[in-house]
Amino acid sequence: MKPTLATLINILVPVKRSIDYAVKIRVASDGKSVDTNVKHSMNPFDEIAVEEAIRLKDKSGEHVDSITALSIGPAKAVDTIRTALAMGADTGIHIVTPENTVIEPLSVAHAIKAIVERSQGTDKKFDLIIMGKQAIDDDSGATGGMVAGMLRWGQGSFASKVVIEKGGKVQVTREIDGGLEAIESQLPFVVTTDLRLNEPRYASLPNIMKAKKKKIENLKPEDLGLDFTPRLETISISDPPKRQGGAKVENIQELVSKMKEAGVI
């Protein structure tokens, strides 16, 4: 056991197992879900979050103690935690939910809050959360801000650069409409990652093997007093209106006359 030092940072990285970004999704025949019998992987923004946590630890090893990957979802979500461990996270926590349960951002935020609160007073107290700015399935982009609000922590959304100084000073460059914004804060803090933050590494085979030995704690929502009853009822999921495209033209003249016809020039 390491001694508890006020300056030692423990990072929590929530990761989500979602349909692979390259898969063309299909609406299921029930009209209320999408076909999930397809390739899944870690949400791309969460990969960036894991990578950033590892880089912070590498860069400032003496004041980052540990990285914990957290996932909330069915049994298979453990694969996503293993991926994070293979990239370089130290331990995992899996809040296991029954297959096909809808877990809303608000529920996830409550779960993350409960995990953070449980860590208070232990020698692995979380003081930095790094997570994706949005999941590419639900596209809400809600969870990071919700957690920061619930915990009353500072937050840096859409981060393209993160610097944590000794003593807990945080500097974040954020992507905003029209450019970039620099902010300054202090731990405890929530970062949500934008695409430009870093280029995530691939896990090497030896690291994948090593990750199998790393510890993953299994929890049930009840263990933390969590209730995942949805507040939003899915009425329907449907295909977007189909666009009539596919008309090719032979040459520039034809292109220009089509533009004229449409009244755009």
Q: Segment 158-177, which members bind another protein (CB under 8 A)? A: 158, 160, 171, 175-177
Pick from 51, 86, 28: nearest CA to 201: 51
Residue 145 in the binding site for another protein (CB under 8 A): yes
Considering only residues 101, 119, 161, 181, which one is a binding residue for another protein as defined by CB under 8 A? 181
Phi first, then psi, for residue 45 (nearest 5°) are: -70, -30
Least distance in angstroms from the C-beta of 208 to another protein: 27
- The CA distance from 122 to 6, in Å, is 12
Give me the half-sphere count of Cα atoms (radius 13 Å) on the Cβ side of residue 108.
27
- The CA distance from 195 to 66, in Å, is 24
Cα 39 to the center of its chain, rounded Å? 18
Residue 39 in the binding site for another protein (CB under 8 A): no
Residues 80 and 56 sit within 8 Å (Cβ to Cβ): no
Residue 20 in the binding site for another protein (CB under 8 A): no
186 - beta bridge partners? 169
- Please list every residue from 61 through 80 that binds another protein, using CB under 8 A: none
- The CA distance from 148 to 189, in Å, is 7
Residues 211 and 82 sit within 8 Å (Cβ to Cβ): yes
Give me the half-sphere count of Cα atoms (radius 13 Å) on the Cβ side of residue 88.
17
Least distance in angstroms from the C-beta of 131 to another protein: 12
Q: Which stretch binds another protein (CB under 8 A): 8-16, 120-128, 190-198, 211-219?
A: 190-198
Q: Which stretch binds another protein (CB under 8 A): 55-63, 89-97, 123-131, 184-192?
A: 184-192
Residues 166 and 201 sit within 8 Å (Cβ to Cβ): no
Residue 38 in the binding site for another protein (CB under 8 A): no
- Please list every residue from 204 through 223 that binds another protein, using CB under 8 A: none
Residue 246 in the binding site for another protein (CB under 8 A): yes
- Residue closer to another protein, measured from CB, 29 or 244: 244
Residue 188, preceding peptide bond in cis (omega within 30° of 0): yes
Residue 153 in the binding site for another protein (CB under 8 A): yes
Q: Which stretch binds another protein (CB under 8 A): 9-17, 85-93, 156-164, 206-214?
A: 156-164
Binding-site residue total for another protein (CB under 8 A)?
89
Considering only residues 24, 39, 212, 213, which one is a binding residue for another protein as defined by CB under 8 A? 24
Q: Which stretch binds another protein (CB under 8 A): 61-69, 72-80, 88-96, 187-195?
A: 187-195
Residue 6 in the binding site for another protein (CB under 8 A): no
Nearest-Å Rg of the Cα atoms of the chain is 21
